[in-house]
């Protein structure tokens, strides 16, 4: 499947924390960068997200800011 989001990076799940509604997942995408994602808790079950698994982070370009 191809997606219009310009930022699709593969990596490994390094942390999963689930709340009643929301969940936090951290993914090591290499180069010293660990990406943090907040998703709905049932996305974690639905995708079977577990520490150690390979996964992609997907980020729309309009959501990326720049700072100097």
| Residue 1 three-state SS | coil
User: Rule CB under 8 A: which of 6-45 touch a second copy?
Assistant: 6-9, 17-25, 27, 29-33, 35-40, 42-43
User: Rule CB under 8 A: which of 38-67 touch a second copy?
Assistant: 38-40, 42-43, 46-49, 53-67
Q: For residues 13 and 52, is the Cβ–Cβ distance under 8 A? A: yes
| Residue 56 three-state SS | strand
Q: Running DSSP on this structure, what letter comes out for residue 22?
A: E
Q: Which residues bind a second copy (CB under 8 A)?
A: 1-9, 17-25, 27, 29-33, 35-40, 42-43, 46-49, 53-68
């Amino acid at each position: 499947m191809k997606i219009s989001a310009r930022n699709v990076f593969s990596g490994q799940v390094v942390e999963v924390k689930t709340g009643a509604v929301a969940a936090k997942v951290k993914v090591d995408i290499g180069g010293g960068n660990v990406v943090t994602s907040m998703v709905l808790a049932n996305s974690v079950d639905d995708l079977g997200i577990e520490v150690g698994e390979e996964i992609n982070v997907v980020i729309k370009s309009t959501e990326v800011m720049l700072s100097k």
